[in-house]
């Protein structure tokens, strides 16, 4: 997985970039099929920096979050939290779909077995 941190209208220190990268890599704990995380910090308004996060996962799924706050790291935390919620919701949806498919197969097998036993 690749994490890219870029800046518009300013510069971030190496330490800040490393902190942001470390926080972004924690998204892998939620969903391990991520292929890329792109974080853009816009410092045009230095009093209210804006953070955009785009997370790409397998099978062409993209998750996007944007946040603006008075402090840059607070904006990063809030944007990552938004992406976490999106990833959790997507993962739950995928897991539930597989559970339902398994139930349907077992139900059809049970019906088939009942029909065969009655003959």
In CATH, what number is assigned to the domain containing residue 86? 3.30.160.100
In degrees, rounded to 5, the angle at the alpha carbon of residue 29 between the alpha carbons of residues 25 and 31 is: 100
Backbone angles phi, psi at 11, to 5 degrees: -140, 140
**What's the rounded Cα separation, in Å, for the pair 119 and 117?**
6
Angle between helices 14-25 and 72-118 (to 10 degrees): 20
pLDDT less than 50: residues of the chain = none
Residue 60: its pLDDT value, please?
Answer: 75
pLDDT for residue 27: 93
The range of the structural domain enclosing residue 39 comes to: 2-118
pLDDT at 36: 94
pLDDT recorded at residue 32: 86
Contact 55, 36 (CB under 8 A): yes
Tell me what pLDDT residue 111 has: 63
Q: What is the domain count for the chain? A: 1
């Amino acid at each position: 997985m690749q994490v890219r941190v870029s800046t518009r209208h300013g510069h971030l220190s190496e330490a800040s970039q490393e902190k942001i990268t470390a926080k972004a890599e924690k998204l892998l704990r939620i969903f391990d099929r991520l292929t890329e995380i792109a974080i853009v910090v816009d410092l045009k308004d230095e009093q209210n920096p804006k953070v955009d996060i785009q997370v790409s996962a397998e099978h062409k799924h993209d998750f996007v979050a944007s946040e603006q706050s008075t402090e840059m790291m607070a904006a990063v935390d809030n944007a990552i939290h938004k992406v976490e919620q999106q990833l959790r919701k997507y993962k739950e949806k995928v897991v539930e779909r597989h559970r339902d498919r398994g139930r349907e197969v077992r139900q059809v097998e049970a019906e088939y077995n009942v029909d065969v036993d009655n003959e």
